[in-house]
Amino acid sequence: MNLPLPKLPPGLSKRLLPPLACVAVCLGAFLSFSIQPLVGKLLLPAQGGSASTWIGTMLFFQAALLLGYSWSVYWLGRTPLAQVAATLLLALGALAATSLGWLRDTPWGGLGGILLSLTLATLPAMLLLFSLTPLLHGWLKRIGQPVPYYIFALSNAGGLAAVLLYPFVVERRFDLSDQIVAWRGLLGLLVGLLSLAAWLLLQTPDADSTGRTANAKPAAAPEDNITPVRIAFWTALSALACAGMLGATHHLAAEIGSGPLVWAGPFGLFLVSYIITFSGGWRPNFTLASFGWLALSLTGYLFTKGVNSVTVDGARALWLLSLSAAGGFCCNGLLQDTMPRARFLPFYFAIAVGGVLGGLFASLAAPVLFLRPTEFLAISTVILLLGVIRLLAARTPLTIAVTLIVVLAPIFAQIGHQMTEESAGFTRLRRLRNLYSSKLLKFEENAVILASETTTHGSQLTQSPEARRQPTLYYTESTAVGRILENLRATQTALNVGVIGLGAGTLAAYASPNDTYDFWDIDPQAEKIARDYFSFLADSPGKIRTHLADGRKGLATSPTDYDLIVIDAFSGDAVPPHLLTYEALSIYFSRLEKRRGLLAIHVSSRYHDFFPVVAATARAAGRTALHVSTMISSTTESRDWDATGTQYIVICDQDQAADIAAWFPTMEDDGRVTRTVTPYKIQPAGVTTIWTDERHGDLDTFKLKNYLLGLRL
């Protein structure tokens, strides 16, 4: 069957199709990687930061990846005309059916609702985007390019551009509505490029792997004897590389918070490893060199970080990134060394399955199998062992066994030393972990401490009943939140207090019999920890209510009017941005307005400076803000037990600001307590950054230079 299409001069279509395919695959990868943070930002305000939101998003994109590869595998076995017809129909369906803006107001919640919403809003587009690499590889092979794996490298280059541009440019400069318009426009451009590529394909006669026009398929090369073992090997390598990258990302997220920025390092290097290894110039010796790089990086990471709960910044962050990159190069080098020359579809499909398995392992299995986040070290060690086995492939089993012992003994000795060192000074350690975070409970002789990897969330003194009722750490009497509660109690007989973030439940220590305290937390493990290992909730004489929900969503539906709302939720070292936007502040003040209440945001952070952004956002909402930084040098008999330095942002009506500022004298008790109280100064319009649900960026508050140099704010 011949289509009535205009004919090109002989050979021209064959010359035009490769560059066109390269542009299309780069653009498709850019779109597939940039839509994922965009979707997350669209969903978070309405769905909250619960596990169902991010697990549902992850599962959807993983499933879409497999479906996209399956689509291409199916159609590449059909005639060129059938491939073109199916691809163009899918492309038109993607243009017609994609409705990203609808995700803001999707009526369904929970895991099933997230999956259904994403399916209805984006599935045709994701099938198209994820199918492009193997599909266009097949088209290039059909016109006579025997090993066009450079198309895979270009695909990852497009993904790398999205990973880097999104946190550094896109989310800082463009509203979500603008991003949606631009994304749809680029999707339309992609559909046009694919239509042109499809026309060129139909203009080009079939060619075998030597470039000669032929009807018969070429015989498979000897190295293309694809066995189940070989497919399993490819799948395992892909899974290891993906899980290792996600393990490294977990450590960075525990420091700087979850967001597009945290993916730029590990994920960016992961994509770089694909780009370099599949660009055409990779050699087996490069793979061997990568294993040497991996061994050096693993050694450096073990001695600077290892399994200890120490801050991953400065040199530790660089070692982590080096180790993550080396693991990617090792795995992808082995993939490149063993890839087939003709039968490419099983290879691509194995890589896709491996990526899904690696993602599921890191997100769902690792929190169950590892009480502390050591899967990154474990995966790096497994990859190193693959290199050792490869080097010793021709040796005797005894030689291999001895070599493995020589390699593993120092690693496990160092890990054991670090674990022993970490437990020194504590009578007992208890680790808990779930999908949200890894928690560490430290039991001292007279105290219990709750930490989440490198961030301490609460403590309680246990030497006496009086000590157990004392608020500690970031919540003592002289901190901003302590002073606010003392002043409110002085004028009101019954307080309503809402708190986003439970921790150890320390703020319940301030509740009087007539008070009501509502705590919201998205982590189902939080209340169990607060009740089983701490007694602030149980000892409180007030009415204490805990809610398993995103605090912003909980306050939006709460019937209670509050005198004080405290935001004390952290993702790593950062407050989740969707809790600090203009729309979020509007929700909080709808619950504070009737009682002329106050909003206190806990922003003690090593690397984030939230005050300029939050204060500007509050100003846009008609409020004013104070930044209260408190240092407490010692404890007295009646207050500030186990205190530490804190930072709070206090937001109130503009006519309240002067009176509330007087609650925070710059010095108390002859210098035992010192404070810096900074009111917001109006900035020029071009300088002010206001966070909304439409626009907020990680780099608005994060000080990247400080982090990489190991400097504290």
58 band by pLDDT with thresholds 50, 70 and 90:
confident
Per-residue pLDDT averaged across 152-174, rounded?
Answer: 94
Q: Would you state the pLDDT for residue 394?
A: 63
Per-residue pLDDT averaged across 326-348, rounded?
Answer: 91
Rounded distance between C-alpha atoms, residue 104 and residue 121, angstroms: 11
Smallest CA-to-CA distance from 197 within 129, 140, 279, 151 is with: 140
**CA distances to 173, 223, 237, 340 from 336, in Å:** 38, 13, 11, 9
Tokens of residue 200, six digits: 């060129």
More reliable by pLDDT, 192 or 109: 192
- Kindly report, residue by residue over 679-709, the tens digit of the pLDDT: 988 777 666 789 999 999 999 999 988 888 8
* DSSP notation for 127-173: HHHHHHHHHHHHHHHHTT-S--THHHHHHHHHHHHHHHHIIIIIHHH
Rounded distance between C-alpha atoms, residue 175 and residue 16, angstroms: 37
* Maximum average pLDDT range among 45-49, 386-390, 470-474: 470-474
Q: Would you state the pLDDT for residue 299?
A: 86
Please tell me whether residue 547 adopts helix, strand or coil conformation.
Answer: strand
Per-residue pLDDT averaged across 432-436, rounded?
Answer: 85
5 band by pLDDT with thresholds 50, 70 and 90:
low
**CA distances to 36, 255, 307, 416 from 421, in Å:** 41, 22, 10, 9
Helix ranges (DSSP H) in 305-370: 314-338, 345-360, 366-369
Rounded distance between C-alpha atoms, residue 129 and residue 115, angstroms: 18
pLDDT at 474 over 60: yes
Rounded distance between C-alpha atoms, residue 350 and residue 242, angstroms: 13
pLDDT at 3 over 60: no
Tokens of residue 583, six digits: 């729309």
Percent of the chain scoring above 90 in pLDDT: 60
More reliable by pLDDT, 688 or 303: 303
Rounded distance between C-alpha atoms, residue 704 and residue 90, angstroms: 41
393 band by pLDDT with thresholds 50, 70 and 90:
confident
Q: Would you state the pLDDT for residue 422?
A: 62
pLDDT at 219 over 70: no
Helix (H) or strand (E) holding 496: strand 496-500
Q: Of 209-213, 222-226, 577-581, 653-657, which gets the smallest average pLDDT?
A: 209-213
Tokens of residue 370, six digits: 């590892």
pLDDT at 217 over 90: no
Tokens of residue 401, six digits: 């066994």
Q: Of 286-300, 464-478, 588-602, which gets the smallest average pLDDT?
A: 286-300
C-beta neighbour count of 467 within 10 angstroms: 15
Beta bridge partners of 669: none
6 band by pLDDT with thresholds 50, 70 and 90:
low
Which position has the token pair 């949606």? 180
Per-residue pLDDT averaged across 533-543, rounded?
Answer: 94
Rounded distance between C-alpha atoms, residue 313 and residue 327, angstroms: 20
Q: Would you state the pLDDT for residue 542?
A: 94
pLDDT at 2 over 70: no
pTM: 0.90
- Kindly report, residue by residue over 166-184, the tens digit of the pLDDT: 999 999 999 999 999 999 9
Percent of the chain scoring above 70 in pLDDT: 92
More reliable by pLDDT, 228 or 407: 228
Which position has the token pair 């210098």? 671
Per-residue pLDDT averaged across 601-630, rounded?
Answer: 94
* DSSP notation for 92-139: HHHHHH--GGGGGG-S--HHHHHHHHHHHHHHHHHHHHHHHHHHHHHH
Q: Longest Cα pair distance anywhere in the chain, in angstroms?
A: 94
Tokens of residue 216, six digits: 């018969």
Q: Which residues 6+ apart lie within 8 Å of 7 measured at CB?
A: 203
285 band by pLDDT with thresholds 50, 70 and 90:
confident
Tell me if 547 sits within 8 A of 518, measured CB to CB: yes
Per-residue pLDDT averaged across 618-629, rounded?
Answer: 94
What are the structural domains, with CATH classification, of the chain?
10-210 (1.20.1250), 236-349+365-424 (no CATH), 474-709 (3.40.50.150)
* Maximum average pLDDT range among 363-367, 372-376, 473-477: 473-477
Compute φ and ψ for 561, nearest 5 degrees: -95, 135
pLDDT at 323 over 90: yes
Helix (H) or strand (E) holding 262: helix 260-264
Per-residue pLDDT averaged across 414-422, rounded?
Answer: 67
Q: Average model confidence (pLDDT) for the chain?
A: 88
Smallest CA-to-CA distance from 204 within 331, 65, 20 is with: 20
Q: Would you state the pLDDT for residue 470?
A: 94
Q: Of 29-38, 216-225, 681-690, which gets the smallest average pLDDT?
A: 216-225
Per-residue pLDDT averaged across 70-77, rounded?
Answer: 91
